[in-house]
Structures are given as structure tokens and as C-alpha cells.
Structure 1
Amino acid sequence: MKFTAYVENTYISTWQVIKAMPAAILTISILFAISDLFDVGLDMISASSTGKAYDPAKNFYRGANWVSLIANLYFGAFISIKVYRFILIGEERKSFMPEEAKILHRYVGLSWIYMIIAFVTAFCIALPALIMYGGNISVTQIGILALIGAFLIFYFYIRLALLFPAISLGSGIELKTAWRNSSENFWDFLAIFTVTLLPVTLVSIIVAMIIYQITSPLPEFTQMIVMILFKGIYCTLLSVILAACCSLLYRNYARGFKNLTPANGISKQEA
């Protein structure tokens, strides 16, 4: 399959998913928003207990607590597994749970492995800089370190990308197999993911700016609620797009995983 075909077919598959399972996508979007609201509630309680004023404007940039983080991992896993199985084996089950609960837990386990890799990578980059420069790191140096860290984290995601659809179809967490499958195609994968995600990122930024301008006359708390809803929709669509992209790559590059992909899976594209 040609490079442009991957990008085009990713968006085609995404649209097919949206049409096939609007209720699931809406439900996950709402759950992401509720998780964010849970964080807001905890922040408001914390601010009240310390006598500080709660600033809702900071919500969009605030990190999640552990409860919300775990919940979000499961929400993303729910919708991603449904997308993988829909695209690769044509499964359109009405029930919300995946076919086997162990698939869901295994998928979340892989997500934790990836997060640990990302944390260790960021730590290994930041620690030498802190030792060398202490608190005198410039904004430019921080930016360079952030770019290096982002690339390395994305690198590990791409190297393990085929494992997410494999697990969704019943495979174990075969890190070695996933690493081997992506070893000769890393730059192709990187280009496909970059070109696929760049328009989504730019559009989301533009939409967020428009929402901010429209809601700016409203109370700050109302602005925050609107942005939380937008974040929920964005996180869900991003999960769907990533799953659609990984599905196409899995179909054409996966070797050595448990083979559960039939020849007549939907959205199958000609090479």
C-alpha cells in the first residue's frame, strides 16, 4: 500500500467507525469528560481546604490524578479494542465490553508498560541536565530536551504500535515480536503517523481557540465545562484515529502474532 493510501484509508476507516458505533463514541467522550470533572471536584475540595481560590482557567492544562488516569486508560482501551476488532475482523457487537475481559486488562497492561517506558525515558533525559546545570536551565535548553524526549517516547510507541491491535485480537504481550516487526519499517511508520496526526492536531488547536473566543464572555466555570467536553471528544477521536492507523499497519506488516485477522475484514484496502 502506498504512503498516501495509508493516510487516506485511516480517515476513511475512522469515518466508518463513527457511523457504525456513534453511541460507543459518545459514551466514551462523556466518560472522559466525567473523569475530568472528577479531577475538578478534587481540586476544588483541595483549594477549599487550604483557603486558596480555585482557578478554573488552569483546568485545561492540569494533569489527572491516579484514579482518573486509570479510568482514562480503560476508557481509551474500550473504544480502541472495539475499533481494532471492527476494522480487522468486522466485529460489530452491540455489547459494550470486549469479547473477553482479559483482552481489556492485557491492553491496559501494555498501556502501563508504555507509560513506564515514557517516564523512564523522560527521567533519563532530565536527570543529566539537572546534574549538569542545576536550576540554571534556559528555556531553549528545556525546549530541546522536551523535543528529544517527545521523539524518544514517540519512537517507543511506534516500535510497539503493532502490539495494540495484536492484543485486541487475542495475542499476548509479545514485545519482542512487535519490536522485530517494526525494526525495518520505523521511518515509514513515523511518516504515516506524523502525516495522519498533524492535521488532527492543527484542527484541534484551531477549534480550541475558536471555542475559547466564543465562550470568553461567559463565566470562567462555564468556559471550563465547555473545554472539558471538547477534551472528551478530542481524546475519543484521537483514540479512534490511532486505532484505525495501527489497524492498517497491522494488516500489512504484522508477522508472528496470533493470526486472527480474516481475509474479509471490513475496510480492507488494496495494496
Structure 2
Amino acid sequence: MNYFEIKNADDILTINDSESCLYLKYRINLKNLPIHDRRVESNSEYLYKGDGIGYINSYNGGYAAAVYIPIRLRKPDEYYAYALSSNTPLKHVRLTEIRNQRHPDRMGRWTNYIQVTFACDSVEDIRKIADSIEIYVYSSRMPKTGTSGLEVFDKYGVPIYNSNLPTLRIAQIIRKTFNGDTLLSKADYEMGTVKFQGIKKPGMCYVYPILDIHTPTGAYVTHYVNWNGDSVTIDTDYKGEVGAPLAPHSVKTTQILIGELDGTENVPSTDEMEI
């Protein structure tokens, strides 16, 4: 039972005393992070310590770049959510949390990471793009500030909202499901460009699930997300024949969450690559 609720002008619940908001804990920039050719520098220690951007030549003649930010400061009962912003267009961008056993200080033990990947046309573009990216890390572990404003606590006395701290705000959901058990035409999977509506400072929060369809005969359909600043364009990579039966594990939905980052400007930006 909720004893405290706040709804917005559209009658949508925004705060109650049972569910925790996520507050902006880190705002990370990638400026001046070293860039490494992964085929020349086979030792990937720098990559998994968060000390650099690794890139390789991709199959289409361009470049694929990756950044890993180790998650080593998160508490056992703490959860993170992420957003990404850039004033430079991003091609085939991905923001997710992964884990592996390659951290040089923790070989053989699992370490979680924020992983950011994107594609570009030249090595020079990697520097330009990286310097424009900011990553926003939101935490479920809401602190007490002891200052003026509104604080909401759950029944255990744990803070779940603080008006002095920027919280994660989902402003737009882009979602489409492609039903059916056989392969459709490429045109049927196209989503094109989706403009953002009424968002002052957009950020890409979450892209999951993402269309990933396969057939036993080798056909496939995959979506890739391009960030344009005021919109996203979803590319469709397609190969196969219409009517082929789909593999049971195929993912038939693409969903992109767009956040409102307006009001986060006063949170200091850091280049510390460990969270």
C-alpha cells in the first residue's frame, strides 16, 4: 500500500513510497582517453582496466571502436542504469553492461563493465566521437543529503527519492515487435528514423531487446541503432528468403529508451574510469 504518491499532468505516477528512483551518481567523459589499434597491440590489459579505447578494422572497410569501464565500486545491494549522450552522430552505437574474466587485476574472476561500442569511417573520427560522448550512471542507492527539499523514504527508512539529486527520467519509448514464425521481407523490418518529441536534452538510455532473427538455413535480420542527436535511425541488416522458418531463439522486438538529461549540467563530469 502506498501512503505517498505524486502524479504528473498526464496522471502518470512519478514517485511513490514503495519504489526507488535512480539518481545520477557519475557523469563520465571520454576526452583524451588513449586510442589503441587492437591488432597491433595484442595485449588488451589497457582495454579491460578502462585505460583506453580499442579499435579494429571492420569487415566493411570502416572501424569498430570499444570502451570498457570496470564496475568495481558498486555495492552488493546497488543497481545501475545508464544513459549516453553525444553531440556527434554515432553509427551502430551500443551501450550495455557485460562481464568477463579479463581484468588484469582479477584474471579468472568475473568483473562487470559498461561497454560502449560504435562504428566510424576513420581513426581520426574515433577521437572526435569519443571526445563528444558522455556516459551517465544512475544508482538505486539513493543517499541522504540533509539539505532542504523533498525526501521520500520507504517503510524501512531507506531514501528512495531526493529532490536535490537528478533522477533517471524516461521521456520516450521506441518499440516495435515483428510477429510471425517465418522470415518477412526486408521492408517489413525497416523502422527508419524516429524523431524525439519534447525532449530538451536527449540521451540513449537502454536498447534492449534488439531485433536478432536467424533461420536454420543461414538467413538473418539484425537491427543497428544510429544516434543523430535529435533522433535515432534504425538500420536493418538482412539476408535470406521470405518465408524461411525462424529459429526458436530469435529475438523479434526492438526497443529503445530515450531519457531526458536536462538538469544534469550541475553534476561534475569526471574522467575516472572505474565506478
TM bin (shorter chain)? under 0.3
Alignment TM-score, normalising by the size of structure 1: 0.23
- Which structure shows the bigger proportion of residues in helix conformation? 1
| Larger relative strand fraction | 2
Higher relative contact order (CA 8 A, sep 6+): 1
TM-score normalized with structure 2 length: 0.22
